């Protein structure tokens, strides 16, 4: 059986490497991209079963990218998990989890990510 | 006339500005990284955005370079200088930035071109550090544009066609992220992953000029062409001389004698007459995140644990969101044991195919 394919988009290269290791260890196939534009190009080549998407990235934020994907007929059904280091603890931030949810992402996980929480959320979204 | 360079395709480039850098050295093999540098900085809750260390001995000083945010720089310098109590040397560089290129995927040619770019831009390098995915250099803010311009000559970035496009896309202040992650302080520090690499040859050379750094870059490019992997690289100024100490860890499938002969030959063809020192077998341990550069005290926790074990730290590199340490291979089990006792480590092993992922 083909492995489920997960695309990680994050501008922290060590984090991409780490999450990719965590997910490969759990039997998933993983693709990597370091910003939304690279992510977009990657999705055009191969549609992922799940997109793990960082919020704070240069040029185009994860929220913007998420909105675009959800507005596109071909990509709107790709489950998206947002990763955010900006949360309820910092009310002054320009981002919030609430905004994350309004972008119609299926779930979010706060950074620093707990490995078990991430794995559980991935399994839930991918329907394992 | 300059040769036409075949551009390397690379994932991304990041610049962290508004920094300051401190370089320090102690005579001989005296190890003062924990007691005189990491501990006082952690006690003052100073975040380190960059940290590198190379052990001393056999006529060389023990050297350390660290970076902080700009406003904490002068205070950090005074703190470390006071702790040294006149036993070592210490220098402060204000207004610095950290330029990181990723992913290198342990391919020496990526790091080689990075060094070549900095050298060709005639940028003074205060420190170099590798992470599992990135290679970072600390340079003065004033030379940033020159360095970025040169990197765009040697690398192709899928998202940016020009330095101007890169600058216009940069995120607003990093303080937002720092403010969040600095609040996250557990009793036992959680890490994402502990990854090990064995049978590494750790080489060290002293680089006296930009021209020599350019040649070292060329040697690394050639190592890539011969199938070598580069899991570790650091560089620090030798404060007692006007030189840059560069140490790099290489591995290959070939037998130890064969691979060291190949590296020797490559170094002597690019850097004739420059002595190179080899420590083998060495082991690397990569402590993956989270956010080491944004949280004070993590470097201190790691260094203190290893020093108490006791494990001899040959080299340390902390940049992006990971810490890499090089140790003697015979001390590998003790190092892993103490790190697993010190940090909360999830079950995470690199999948086997990663090692077989040859170019």
* pLDDT value of position B77: 97
What ipTM was assigned to the predicted interfaces of this complex?
Answer: 0.84
Indicate the pLDDT class of residue A110, thresholds 50, 70 and 90: confident
* pLDDT value of position B333: 95
Q: Which residues of chain B have pLDDT under 70?
A: 1-5, 29-31, 171-186, 290-294, 348-359
Q: Please tell me which residue of chain A has the smallest CA distance to B136.
A: A13
pTM: 0.90
Cα B289 to Cα A80, B54, B181, distances in angstroms: 23, 21, 12
Region of B273 please: left (phi>0), alpha (psi -120 to 50) or beta: left
* pLDDT value of position B4: 62
**Residue A29 in contact with partner chain B when CB distance is under 8 A:** no
For residues B22 and B49, give the distance between their C-alpha atoms in angstroms, rounded to a whole number. Answer: 12
Two tokens at B82? Answer: 């006071």
Contacts of A90 in chain B (CB under 8 A): 176, 179-180, 183
Q: Are A36 and A60 in contact (CB under 8 A)?
A: yes
Contacts of A24 in chain B (CB under 8 A): 350-351
* pLDDT value of position A102: 53
Backbone angles phi, psi at B99, to 5 degrees: -105, 120
Which pLDDT tens digit goes with each residue over B172-222? 655 444 434 434 456 788 888 899 999 999 999 999 999 999 999 999 999
Residue A38 has pLDDT above 50, yes or no: yes
For residues B243 and B240, give the distance between their C-alpha atoms in angstroms, rounded to a whole number. Answer: 8
**Residue A101 in contact with partner chain B when CB distance is under 8 A:** no
Query: Exposure pattern of B256-288 as b/e (b: 16+ CB <10 Å)?
Result: eeebbebbeebbeebbeeeebeebbebbbbbbb
Q: Which of A37, A86, A115 sits opposite B159 (nearest CB)?
A: A37
Which pLDDT tens digit goes with each residue over A46-60? 999 999 999 888 888
Q: Please tell me which residue of chain A has the smallest CA distance to B320.
A: A14
Q: Please tell me which residue of chain B has the smallest CA distance to A60.
A: B169
Contacts of B195 in chain A (CB under 8 A): 21
**Residue A117 in contact with partner chain B when CB distance is under 8 A:** no
Region of A85 please: left (phi>0), alpha (psi -120 to 50) or beta: alpha
All residues at 6 or more sequence positions from B182 whose CB lies less than 8 Å from its CB, including other chains: B47, B294, B295, B296
Q: Which of A35, A41, A30, A47 is nearest to A9 (CA)?
A: A35
Q: Please tell me which residue of chain A has the smallest CA distance to B165.
A: A59
Residue A64 has pLDDT above 60, yes or no: yes
Q: What is the mean pLDDT of residues A54-82?
A: 90
* pLDDT value of position B181: 42
């Amino acid at each position: 059986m083909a492995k489920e394919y997960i695309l990680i988009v994050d501008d922290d290269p060590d984090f991409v490497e780490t999450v990719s290791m965590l997910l490969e260890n759990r039997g998933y196939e993983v693709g990597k991209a370091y910003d939304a534009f690279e992510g977009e190009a990657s999705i055009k080549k191969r549609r992922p079963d799940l997109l793990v998407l960082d919020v704070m990235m240069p040029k185009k934020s994860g929220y913007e990218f998420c909105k675009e994907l959800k507005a596109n007929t071909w990509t709107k059904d790709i489950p998206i998990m947002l990763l955010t280091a900006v949360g309820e603890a910092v009310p002054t931030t320009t981002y919030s989890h609430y905004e994350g949810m309004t972008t119609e992402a299926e779930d979010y996980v706060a950074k620093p990510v707990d490995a078990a929480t991430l794995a559980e959320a991935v399994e839930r979204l991918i329907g394992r | 006339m300059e040769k036409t360079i075949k551009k390397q395709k690379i994932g991304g480039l990041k610049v962290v500005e508004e920094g300051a850098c401190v370089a320090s050295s102690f005579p001989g093999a005296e190890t003062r990284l924990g007691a005189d540098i990491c501990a006082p900085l952690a006690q003052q809750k100073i975040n380190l955005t960059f940290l590198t260390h190379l052990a001393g001995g056999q006529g060389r000083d023990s050297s350390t370079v660290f970076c902080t945010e700009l406003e904490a720089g002068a205070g950090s310098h005074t703190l470390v200088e006071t702790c040294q109590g006149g036993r070592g040397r210490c220098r402060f560089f204000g207004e610095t930035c950290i330029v990181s290129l990723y992913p290198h995927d342990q391919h020496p040619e990526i790091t080689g071109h990075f060094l070549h770019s900095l050298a060709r831009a005639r940028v003074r390098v205060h420190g170099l550090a590798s992470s599992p995915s990135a290679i970072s250099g600390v340079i003065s803010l004033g030379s940033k544009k020159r360095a970025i311009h040169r990197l765009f000559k040697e690398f192709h970035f899928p998202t940016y066609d020009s330095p101007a496009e890169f600058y216009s896309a940069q995120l607003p202040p990093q303080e937002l992220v720092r403010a969040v992650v600095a609040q996250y302080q557990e009793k036992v520090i959680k890490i994402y992953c502990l990854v090990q690499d064995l049978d590494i040859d750790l080489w060290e050379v002293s680089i006296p000029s930009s021209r020599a750094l350019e040649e070292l870059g060329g040697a690394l490019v050639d190592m890539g062409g011969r199938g070598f992997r580069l899991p570790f690289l650091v560089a620090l100024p030798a404060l007692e001389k006007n030189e840059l100490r560069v140490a790099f860890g290489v591995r290959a499938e070939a037998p130890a004698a064969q691979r060291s002969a190949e590296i020797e030959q490559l170094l002597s063809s690019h850097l004739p007459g420059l002595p190179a020192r080899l420590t083998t077998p060495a082991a690397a341990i990569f402590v993956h995140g989270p956010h080491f550069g944004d949280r004070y005290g993590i470097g201190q926790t790691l260094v203190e644990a290893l020093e108490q074990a006791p494990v001899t730290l040959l080299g340390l590199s902390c940049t992006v969101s990971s810490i890499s340490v090089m140790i003697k291979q015979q001390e590998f089990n003790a190092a892993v044991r103490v790190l697993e006792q010190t940090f909360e480590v999830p079950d995470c092993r690199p999948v086997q195919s990663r090692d077989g992922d040859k170019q």
